[in-house]
Amino acid sequence: MKIEKLQKLLEDMSLEEKVGQMVQIPGAMMKKGGIITGPTESFELTPNILQMVGSVLGINGAEELRTIQKEYMEKHPHHIPLLFMRDIINGSETIFPIPLAQGCTFSPKTVEECARFAAREATARGLHITFSPMLDLVRDARWGRVMESPGEDSFLNAQMGKAMVRGYQGDTDTVGKGHMGSCIKHFAGYGAPEGGRDYDAVELSERTFREEYLEAYREAVKEGSAMVMTSFNTIDRIPATANEWLMRTVLRDEMGFNGVLISDWGAVDQLINHGVAKDSREAAKFAIRAGVDIDMVSNAYMKYLAELVKSGEVEENLVDEAVMRILKLKNDLGLFENPYKDGTKEAEERMIRCEEHLQCARKAAAESFVLLKNEKALPLSAAAQESLAFIGPYVDEKMLYGGWSYPMHPEKTITIREGASRKKSNIIYAKGTYVLEQGQHTTNGITQNYVQDEVKEMLADAMEAARSADKIVMFLGEHAKQSGEGASKVRIRIPENQMDLLRKIYQINKNIVTVIFSGRPVEVSEIAAMSKAVLMAWMPGSEGGNAIADVLFGEAEPGGRLSMTMPRSVGQVPVYYSRLSTGRPNPEGRTGGGINGYLDETLIPLYPFGYGLTYTDFRYSQVELDRDVMHGEDVITAKVTVQNTGDTVGTETVQLYIQDLIGSVARPVKQLRGFQKVHLNPGESKDVSFTIQEEMLRFYDIHMQYVSEPGEFYAYIGPNSDTENKRMFQLTE
Ligand code: BGC
Ligand code: BGC
């Protein structure tokens, strides 16, 4: 539809109709069978809203959405189609690794492909928009939602965010076939709640907020994301959903976002709980003034927006602007021509869990696994002589996917046992214990009740298996529902019953490899001390068992590098590599008084950001620069030669970090500014070079101007954020 026709349509709509476009309700309220993802106790549908509401969330299925759309459009005064939205976070039916694990791939290409395939399946199921990517910067593993983010680093998150937006939306201006609109969330700063407590206040300096926390959202906006979602938190004491500075000045004026802004679930009414709005009516007023176009599941717009316009408290043109953006989005999705978009039974049958998508899930999972330790214990041999026992509650686990995964066929998840038995037939399997401790809770209300006979039997089987095998692989981890929304924890350890199992096994047989499942960095010091090799598998998705078997038996490499620092202890969080220099630096991490650090623990985390081993070894040459002075538009090429010094083919993730030695404000000790993968045969070397440009040196200076400052810099190139392989260069006026 032409823009003039949209304008005409808007002029023709009644105020109630316009307000309807700005309201989103759970699809489950329209039709049975949908999923309600947040609380609805206080939500009351007003009469007429079912005929007027502009979008729904949480339902899918081609046939069902067709029926809903058809019936709805017939009754709607202007026959405007509904928008169907849902949380397609790491896949629709084919489940890919969780976003935190996707961050570990350091491969925007892989991440884009996962998003593209997720969109194909989701659009076949009739959906138009996904509430993804989540680009909240995360540095505190107590927060359960770290699993939904690509990680702790603004540069990495920006690359991943752009890749996801491209994958979902395609690279054309409108959203074409097999693609869907993306929604960047949660704007802004939601990843830094105090104490890691979900929904808590965020206290950040404007400089850190702008420079680090906004970076990934900013880049994803530039990539053209159709939507942005507000966050639940306050920032500078103002709830994001009522924050005019954040939404109008920063998001719209500075970042240039001109798509649709939606609140998070119930966030408009929650302005009352925050203590800034006295009632729902006032909440609606604050949210529309801040520029929120769609109110997701609260009563505020539905009940009070029309009244606020009539009383003159809200200017009608604010409503018109919002509705125009929503209509334009529907138009960009082609819904006026084809309200069902790509949802057909035929497309569902062709797309859902097709071979191409499953292969991608398998490959992406292997690329996300991080090998933390390996004393020649991996890869395993598939030869019959080596007897293996696979022990732990994860050997038969189907819940290998994180929150927001709603596969239609969870029973089709490839388990460890299924994946491994395709490689080697004589492995002994034993669960040993349950995933959870007796009485432990998860977010979906699961509480483990121990059946004592079963407990004894599981343990006895595991001990027997440990005695008889040459080598043991332990499969341990958090429950899939111990991370995600509302899953903050003060202990970032895997359940204690599993640690007990490991300790008992270790008494019998010390030849142990451990594979860990988790939606967050967990404390693994004790596990690492008892294991000859440790593989971090996160929540790997539909093909988890196959991918793990591929990596354990050396048919695929463990491709991941940590996208979040692994602390030694929860007491070290928040922890991240790009810290500011302090007045009393402590690079060796000494314990004791008078220095930056702790009395009872080193300052140094267990495994740094960017870290991950491979099945071979690499040697780096010293960093070489083609020039060491940069002036004006000059660029510097920084180069290393990387050699595979081991006897296995391998892929190294080469990382460029930059440090600004003196600034008008304190600068991070190092910042990631580039990464590349290089594939090398045994003995082979290749040059890897990065271009350093002036704009990579910019930051918010003492006057809050985004500029670079002349002076000295280090360019580091190495295998992770701990690298000391560096060369100095200068930026001159
Ligand atoms: C979450 C969002 C999600 C929304 C809709 C909220 O509780 O914070 O991330 O997109 O629900 O399901
Ligand atoms: C302490 C100050 C103290 C000063 C002189 C510093 O190390 O931080 O509190 O007054 O020493 O003793």
- What's the confidence (pLDDT) of residue 593? 85
pLDDT at 377 over 90: yes
- Looking at the chain, the whole-number percentage of residues with pLDDT higher than 90 is 91
pLDDT 10s digits, 560-574: 999 999 999 999 999
Tally the residues of the chain: 733
Mutate to test the pocket of ligand 1, among 24, 25, 37 (most ligand atoms within 8 A of CB): 37
- Cβ of 37 below 6 Å from ligand 1: yes
Q: What is the mean pLDDT of residues 630-658?
A: 97
Mutate to test the pocket of ligand 1, among 200, 265, 488 (most ligand atoms within 8 A of CB): 265
- Which ligand gives the minimal distance to the CA of 28? 1
- What's the confidence (pLDDT) of residue 432? 98
pLDDT 10s digits, 38-77: 888 788 888 788 889 999 999 999 999 999 999 999 999 9
Q: Half-sphere exposure of 685 toward its Cβ, with a 13 Å CA cutoff?
A: 10
- Which ligand gives the minimal distance to the CA of 147? 1
- Cβ of 185 below 6 Å from ligand 1: yes
How much helix, strand and coil, in percent to the nearest 5, is found in the chain?
A: 35, 20, 50
DSSP assigned state of 211: I
pTM above 0.85, yes or no: yes
User: Atom 6, ligand 1: which residue's CA is nearest?
Assistant: 265
- Which ligand gives the minimal distance to the CA of 584? 2
Which residues participate in catalysis according to the annotation?
Answer: 264
Q: What is the mean pLDDT of residues 651-677?
A: 98
Q: What is the mean pLDDT of residues 19-47?
A: 84
pLDDT band at 592 (very low <50, low <70, confident <90, very high): confident
- What's the confidence (pLDDT) of residue 697? 98
Question: Is 482 within 8 Å of 517 (Cβ atoms)?
Answer: no
Reading the block at residue 37, the tokens are: 């993802």
User: Atom 4, ligand 1: which residue's CA is nearest?
Assistant: 265
Listed residue (205, 68, 80, 206) closest to 127, CA to CA: 68
In ligand 1, the atom with minimum distance to the C-alpha of 131 is 10
Ligand 1 center to residue 25 CA distance, Å?
13
- What's the confidence (pLDDT) of residue 293? 98
In ligand 1, the atom with minimum distance to the C-alpha of 229 is 10
With vertex at residue 486, the alpha carbon angle to CA 482 and CA 490, rounded to the nearest 5 degrees, is: 60
In ligand 1, the atom with minimum distance to the C-alpha of 186 is 9
pLDDT 10s digits, 408-425: 788 999 999 999 999 999
Q: Please report the DSSP string for 274-330 in residue order.
A: TTS-SSHHHHHHHHHHHT--BEES-SHIIIIIHHHHHTTSS-HHHHHHHHHHHHHHH
Cα distance between residue 256 and residue 704, in whole Å: 19
- What's the confidence (pLDDT) of residue 600? 95
Mutate to test the pocket of ligand 1, among 264, 268, 294 (most ligand atoms within 8 A of CB): 264
- What's the confidence (pLDDT) of residue 39? 83
pLDDT at 383 over 90: no
- What's the confidence (pLDDT) of residue 32? 63
Reading the block at residue 530, the tokens are: 């008892």
For the chain, the C-alpha Rg in angstroms (whole number) is 26
Question: Is 559 within 8 Å of 651 (Cβ atoms)?
Answer: yes
Among 38-52, 392-406, 597-611, the minimum mean pLDDT is found in: 38-52
Q: Distance of CA 28 to CAs 51, 300, 462, 561, Å?
A: 15, 20, 44, 40
> b/e for 638-665, b at 16 or more Cβ within 10 A?
bbbebbbebeeebbbbbbbbbbbeebee
pLDDT at 34 over 80: no
pLDDT at 446 over 90: no
Ligand 1 center to residue 89 CA distance, Å?
11
pLDDT at 123 over 70: yes
Among 11-15, 428-432, 487-491, 591-595, the minimum mean pLDDT is found in: 591-595
3-state SS assignment for residue 661: coil
User: Which residues does 643 contact at the CB level (< 8 Å), separation at least 6?
Assistant: 618, 619, 621, 680, 683, 684, 685
User: Atom 8, ligand 1: which residue's CA is nearest?
Assistant: 264
How would you write 430-489 as a 3-class SS string? ECCCCCCCCCCECCCCCECCCCHHHHHHHHHHHHHHHHHCCEEEEEEECCHHHCCCCCCC
Q: Distance of CA 544 to CAs 306, 455, 549, Å?
A: 50, 26, 9
Residue given tokens 């780096």 in the structure block: 620
pLDDT 10s digits, 485-519: 999 999 999 999 999 999 999 999 999 999 999 99
- Cβ of 136 below 6 Å from ligand 1: no
- Cβ of 264 below 6 Å from ligand 1: yes
Question: Is 606 within 8 Å of 524 (Cβ atoms)?
Answer: yes
- Which ligand gives the minimal distance to the CA of 187? 1
- Cβ of 145 below 6 Å from ligand 1: no
Reading the block at residue 431, the tokens are: 């669960």
Ligand 2 center to residue 665 CA distance, Å?
24
3-state SS assignment for residue 722: coil
User: Atom 2, ligand 1: which residue's CA is nearest?
Assistant: 264
Q: What is the mean pLDDT of residues 454-467?
A: 97
Mutate to test the pocket of ligand 1, among 55, 83, 131 (most ligand atoms within 8 A of CB): 131
- What's the confidence (pLDDT) of residue 188? 98
With vertex at residue 539, the alpha carbon angle to CA 538 and CA 544, rounded to the nearest 5 degrees, is: 110
Cα distance between residue 102 and residue 108, in whole Å: 9
- What's the confidence (pLDDT) of residue 206? 97
Ligand 2 center to residue 660 CA distance, Å?
29
DSSP assigned state of 93: S
- What's the confidence (pLDDT) of residue 40? 80
Phi-psi region of 388 (alpha: psi -120 to 50; beta: other; left: phi over 0): beta
pLDDT at 33 over 70: no
Q: What is the mean pLDDT of residues 173-200?
A: 96
User: Which residues does 2 contact at the CB level (< 8 Å), separation at least 6?
Assistant: none
- Cβ of 215 below 6 Å from ligand 1: no
- Which ligand gives the minimal distance to the CA of 583? 2
Cα distance between residue 158 and residue 213, in whole Å: 10
3-state SS assignment for residue 62: helix
- What's the confidence (pLDDT) of residue 12? 98
- What's the confidence (pLDDT) of residue 434? 96
pLDDT 10s digits, 721-731: 999 999 999 99
In ligand 1, the atom with minimum distance to the C-alpha of 148 is 9
User: Which residues does 280 contact at the CB level (< 8 Å), separation at least 6?
Assistant: 269, 272, 298, 299, 300, 303, 304
Strand bridging mode 23-26 / 55-57? parallel
Residue given tokens 């020649």 in the structure block: 376
Cα distance between residue 580 and residue 206, in whole Å: 15
Q: What is the mean pLDDT of residues 93-104?
A: 98
Helix axes 316-332, 280-290, angle to 10 degrees: 60
Q: Please report the DSSP string for 237-274 in residue order.
A: TEEGGG-HIIIIIIIIIIT---SEEE--TTTTTHHHHT
In ligand 1, the atom with minimum distance to the C-alpha of 134 is 9
Q: Is the dihedral of CA 136, 141, 143, 145 positive or negative?
A: positive
- Cβ of 265 below 6 Å from ligand 1: yes
Ligand 2 center to residue 667 CA distance, Å?
25
- Cβ of 87 below 6 Å from ligand 1: yes
As a whole number of Å, the end-to-end CA separation of the chain is 51
Longest CA span, the chain: 83
- Cβ of 148 below 6 Å from ligand 1: no
- Cβ of 131 below 6 Å from ligand 1: yes
pLDDT 10s digits, 209-242: 999 999 999 999 999 999 999 999 999 999 999 9
- What's the confidence (pLDDT) of residue 409? 81
pLDDT at 162 over 80: yes
**How many H helices and E strands in the chain?**
22, 27
pLDDT at 35 over 80: no
Question: Is 65 within 8 Å of 328 (Cβ atoms)?
Answer: no
- The four Cα atoms 316, 321, 322, 324 give a dihedral, to 10 degrees, of 120
Q: What is the mean pLDDT of residues 91-101?
A: 97
